[in-house]
Amino acid sequence: MIRIDKSRFRVKPGKKIRLSDYDPADTSLMPDKTKALVRIQKDVRKLQKLQDRFYAEHQRALLVVLQGMDASGKDGTIKHVMRGLNPQGCSVVSFKVPDGEELDHHFLWRIERAMPRHGHIGVFNRSHYEDALVGRVHKLVPKKVWKKRYDQINRFEELESELDTVILKFFLHISKDEQKKRLEERLQSPEKNWKFSPADVKERKLWNDYQDVYEDILNKCSTESAPWYIIPADHKWFRNWMVATVIVGTLESLNPQYPPPRADLSKIRIE
């Protein structure tokens, strides 16, 4: 069972939410940082064992989608939550601005190609939602185009779900003040300079526009088969704990099993 209050952080289909009602600094489910760090370690170990069974079973795939404003912690979540996974059964895909052959196809083409195989856990660092987000905020496509994308995404995710891909979507909800702090750290710390991009400063000026579109995405694209979770992300340790909790709880509910041996092992003798 998933060990968080789904009514608070899982966006229910058909129920309209407002991001302003969610505190990015909320740690009420796990207010003790020390306990949270211990729980994360336990969940990482559980995730390793669950992945082993999931890979061996080879009947389903799991897709983890991470979305959020710049500096909300997508890379950090992958680093801390997924660090114990066997690379043989895990893939991480980071979606940038589409170019080349990608532009010759519909916006879901590159997403479909990157979907995890059965037995695999796939992580999307940004995703198909960028085409319903950036395209709208920057007016790269007309309204009649981006408006259709919500339904197109829902139908795509529904089909993938029917074909045995379990989808979990996490919106890493960060405050504007915390984003400023993290961007300044990237600017001032030599070991983080490489992560800083002047484009982040330009995008920050469109903060309210992005919040409005994200709110629309959460309201229109959270379904029973592909739910959105709003993750308070101002505290990195809480963000990591909460994402780990949902992923482990989901895999536990799937209860993957090792397949039976292909032969009668009792009759095999190794000389």
Supply the pLDDT for residue 72: 97
Looking at domain 6-253, its CATH superfamily turns out to be P-loop containing nucleotide triphosphate hydrolases (3.40.50.300)
d(CA 167, CA 66): 11
pLDDT band at residue 2 under the 50/70/90 scheme: very low
Indicate the SS3 state at residue 225.
Answer: coil
In terms of Cβ atoms closer than 10 Å to its own Cβ (0-12, 13-18, 19+), residue 247 is buried
Question: 228 phi and psi, to 5 degrees?
Answer: -100, 140
The 10s digit of each residue's pLDDT in 160-209 is 999 999 999 999 999 999 999 999 999 998 898 998 888 889 999 999 99
Query: Domain residues of the chain, as ranges?
Result: 6-253
How is residue 233 written in tokens?
């992300």
Q: How many CB atoms lie within 10 A of CB 178?
A: 19
d(CA 100, CA 149): 21
Q: How many CB atoms lie within 10 A of CB 228?
A: 27
Widest Cα–Cα separation across the chain: 71
The 10s digit of each residue's pLDDT in 95-130 is 988 889 999 999 999 999 999 999 999 999 999 999
62 DSSP β-pair partners: 121, 166
Higher pLDDT, 84 or 92: 92
Supply the pLDDT for residue 98: 87
How is residue 1 written in tokens?
């069972």
The 10s digit of each residue's pLDDT in 12-66 is 998 899 999 999 999 999 999 999 999 999 999 999 999 999 999 999 999 999 9
- C-alpha distances in angstroms, 163 versus 107, 182, 254? 20, 39, 15
Supply the pLDDT for residue 5: 56
Starting from the edge strand earliest in sequence, which strands make up the sheet with 61-68, in order?
Answer: 90-94, 121-125, 61-68, 165-173, 228-232
